[in-house]
Amino acid sequence: MKWLSFLLPAVLAAAPATDGRQEFRTPNGLRVILDERHERPILRLHLLAAWDRTELSEIQADQALRIRSILGRCGAGGVNRAALDRRLADRGIRLDFEGAGDTLAWSMLADSQDQEDAFEILGHVVFRPSLGEDSAGRAEIASGVIPEACFKASLGFPAEGFPHGGLGMEERFSLHRRLVRPEHSVLVIQGDLSLPQARQLVLLHLGTWSPAPEKPLLGATPSLKGDCPAPPEGAWVGSPAPRGDAKDRAAQIAVAILLARVFSQDIQGDILFEASRPGGDAGPFLFGTRSGGDAEKRIRERLEDLCRQGFGQADLVYVRRAWKAEQAGLALHPEDQLRALARTALKGDLGPCIMALREDELNAALRARLAPGALRWLVKKAEALSPK
C-alpha cells in the first residue's frame, strides 16, 4: 500500500478538522468522516447508503425491501455466507447489517490491528455482495414466519420475515447498484486510526466502488402487501415512513416521540405502538393488538381519537426536551452516535427544525400520518391482507 501515499495527495483533499473530526471525499463521491480515538485499540466503521424515495415507484420501493432481506443473509466477495461468517469469527470482527426506510447500513467492530481485514470485508459486503446465493423465497412465509414480523418488514422496519420470490437476478443487481451508490453514502470511522491510514484504506478497498447512473429495472414483482399471512387473531395497522423534506421529517419525529409517550402511559389499553427511528430520524409506525373482539374497530376508534384530540404546546415542550436528551445521550452509546452522525451527514441536522416546530404543523403531521389512505392493514379475515 506504500505506493498509494504518492497518489493520495493528488486525488483526495482532506478538509480541516471540525469539532475534533476530519473529513475527506474520494473520487467516486464517497464522503468519509474520521473521529480519531487512540485511547483503546478499537476500530468502529459505519457505512450508510441512502436513497431518495421519490425516485422509486411503490413497486420499486417494495423491491428495495426485498434487496435488504437478501443483503442481510448473503455472502460477498465471491464467498458464501458460511465462509464469510467463518472469516469474521477468525478475525474477531463483528459485522451488523440493518435496512430501514430509505437506508441500508453496515456496521463493523474490530481490533485496530485488524483494520486491513475490516476494510476489505466492508468493501466486499457493500458493493460486491453475492445476490444470487440466498434462495429463500415465498415458501419460507408458509413455514412459520410470524405474520407481524412479515408485516413490519413490508412497512420498512428493520425486521426479517418476508420473501423475495419473483425478484430476478438482473433486477437484483440493477436495483442494488442504483440504491447502494458511493455518491449517496457516507462512511464514519471511529477509533485507533490516523488520517493517512484511513485515506489509504478507504481508497484501496472502497475506491473502486463505481457510481451507477442508470435507472433500475422495473420487473413484475408483486407488491409486498400480498405476501404477509393472516394473523391468528387481532389486527395490525402500519404507516410507512412518509416522504418529505427536513421540516416534514422533524414533524414526524415529534409525532413518534409523542405517540410513544401516549401508548406507554396507557396501561389499561391493549393496543401496542412501535416506531422505527433509524439514526434518530423518522421511520414507519405500527399499531396492533393480538386480542380478538372487534380488534380492527378498536384500533380505528383509537386513531380517530388521537387525530381529534391532537397535541398542544406542552407536548411541543416535551418533544424539544426529549430531543435534546437523545442528542446528549449519544455520547454514552458509540454505535448510536455513529449512526446518527452518518444520517446527519447525509440528510442534514433536524435539530433546528424540531426546535422551530409549531403546534399546527405538529397536528397536521399527525393527521396526515394517521389518515385512512396512509395506512396499511393486516387483519384476521378471509383474505391474507386487507388493505384499506
Confidence of residue 218 (pLDDT cuts 50, 70, 90): low
What's the average model confidence in pLDDT over 232-242?
A: 85
Exposure letters 122-136 (e unless 16+ CB within 10 A, then b): bbbbbbebbbebbeb
Q: Which residues contact 110 (CB under 8 A, 6 or more apart)?
A: 42, 43, 45, 91, 92, 93, 94, 117, 118
pLDDT digit string (tens) for 43-79? 999 999 988 766 677 777 777 777 887 888 889 988 9
SS3 78: coil
pLDDT for res 137: 44
Report whether pLDDT(230) > 90.
no
pLDDT for res 139: 41
What are the chain's domains?
Answer: 4-222 (3.30.830.10), 230-379 (3.30.830.10)
What's the average model confidence in pLDDT over 179-194?
A: 93
CA distance 158 to 65: 10
DSSP 165: T
Give the residue, 175 or 61, on which the prediction is more confident: 175
Q: Which residues pair with 25 in a beta bridge?
A: 13, 31
pLDDT for res 15: 45
pLDDT for res 100: 74
Report whether pLDDT(382) > 60.
no
Report whether pLDDT(386) > 60.
no
Mean pLDDT of the chain: 82
Q: Which residues contact 114 (CB under 8 A, 6 or more apart)?
A: 43, 91, 92, 93
Only one residue has cell 387473531, namely 233
What's the average model confidence in pLDDT over 283-305?
A: 88
Cell representation of residue 222? 408483486
pLDDT digit string (tens) for 369-381? 999 998 989 886 5
What's the average model confidence in pLDDT over 225-246?
A: 78
pLDDT digit string (tens) for 120-171? 999 999 999 998 765 444 444 444 456 777 788 888 887 665 555 567 788 7
Q: Which residues pair with 378 in a beta bridge?
A: 236
What's the average model confidence in pLDDT over 290-304?
A: 87
pLDDT for res 275: 92
What's the average model confidence in pLDDT over 203-222?
A: 73
pLDDT digit string (tens) for 306-346? 999 999 999 999 999 999 999 888 878 888 888 888 988 98
Assign 3-state DSSP to the chain and report helix, strand, coil percentages, each to 5.
50, 20, 35
Give the residue, 16 or 355, on which the prediction is more confident: 355
